[in-house]
Amino acid sequence: MGTGAAIFALAALLGLHALFTAVPWVYTALKVLGGVYLIYLAYRIWRGASQPLTVNAPTPVLAPAPAAGHDVRRTFLIGLGTQLSNPKTAIVFSSVFAALLPRTPPSYFFGALPFIAFCIDAGWYTIVACTLSSPASRSAYLRYKTLVDRAAGGIMGALGIRLITTAR
> Is position 97 within any domain?
yes
Count of structural domains within the chain: 1
> Is position 100 within any domain?
yes
Asked if 117 and 6 count as a contact pair (C-beta separation under 8 A), the reply is yes
Range of the domain at 152: 2-51+81-165
Percentage above 70 pLDDT, the chain: 85
Residue 69: enclosing H or E segment and its boundaries? helix 68-84
Query: What are the pLDDT digits (tens) for 19-77?
Result: 777 887 877 887 788 788 889 889 999 999 998 877 665 554 444 455 555 688 888 88
Say what the pLDDT of residue 29 is.
81
> Is position 60 within any domain?
no
> Is position 62 within any domain?
no
Question: Does 157 score more than 90 pLDDT?
Answer: yes
> Is position 123 within any domain?
yes
Query: What are the pLDDT digits (tens) for 122-141?
Result: 999 898 888 878 888 888 88
> Is position 122 within any domain?
yes
Mean pLDDT for 136-159 is: 90
What are the helix and strand counts (H, E) for the chain? 6, 0
Asked if 79 and 1 count as a contact pair (C-beta separation under 8 A), the reply is yes
More confident residue, 149 or 11: 149
Asked if 164 and 99 count as a contact pair (C-beta separation under 8 A), the reply is no
Residue 105: enclosing H or E segment and its boundaries? none
> Is position 71 within any domain?
no
> Is position 145 within any domain?
yes
Please tell me whether the overall predicted TM-score, pTM, comes out greater than 0.85 for this model: no
